[in-house]
Amino acid sequence: MVYTYKKSRKGSLIIGTSQILNLEFQFGEERAKIRGQLQTLFGNPFYTYPDPDSAYCYVIIMENDQGVRYNLTVYLSKFGTSIGGNKNIEGIEDAVQELKKYIEKADPSDYEYRGTYSDGTSVIMGVKDEEPYYSVTQIEKKAKKRESTFEEVFTKAGLIPEWIERGRVQGMETVARNALAKGLPFDVIHDITGLSIKKINKLAMSNA
């Protein structure tokens, strides 16, 4: 089967995708190299994000010689560099394996990414003259004034317990809507908010 590969800027193609295959076998420089290979093949990502757990995402349209199209994503999350897609589409597993081989054959291009985890750990990764590099540095953070939790705010206001949970859920739904607007994959949003994939899909449909 022969495939063509095309980068897309349509964030709507991310809706309904989830992880199918992890591309990493070794953490660190391999992660940096894969991003450089994607840079060679497809240029800049659909988005980049300062949190290394959601560092970037590519939207790739593959089409075989029979005219069947597959909408795939290649992204970096806390589970590593992955290829995502709609698992219910026939033949998508084969398409994913072909995309993996296509990426592996490419030489990495120069780039640099800098990001910071929520605990203050900074990450610098990139490629220079086809040599990948990856470093992690702990940044000292100044103590921040602790913000009140939903429970504390609602209790002070004299609200009943079920309103505490309702407020928490509504807060996570707002986070999910913002993440959907940025084009983050469903499984990444699930990890961030704790909301079910079904709920996230419902929010995505209401945003459309």
User: pLDDT by residue (tens digit) across 57-109?
Assistant: 999 999 999 999 999 999 999 889 999 999 999 999 999 999 999 999 999 99
Beta strand pairing call for 3-8 and 69-77: unpaired
Instruction: Look at residues 90, 75, 74, 80 and name the one whose alpha carbon lies nearest to residue 26.
Output: 80
Average pLDDT over the chain reads 87
Task: Write down the pTM of the prediction.
Answer: 0.66
Instruction: Look at residues 78, 113, 102, 132 and name the one whose alpha carbon lies nearest to residue 7.
Output: 102
- Name the burial class of residue 20, with classes exposed (0-12), middle (13-18) and buried (19+) by CB atoms within 10 angstroms of its CB: buried
pLDDT digits (tens, 9 = 90+) for 9-49: 999 999 889 999 999 877 789 999 999 999 999 999 999 99
Predicted pLDDT of residue 176: 81
Predicted pLDDT of residue 190: 83
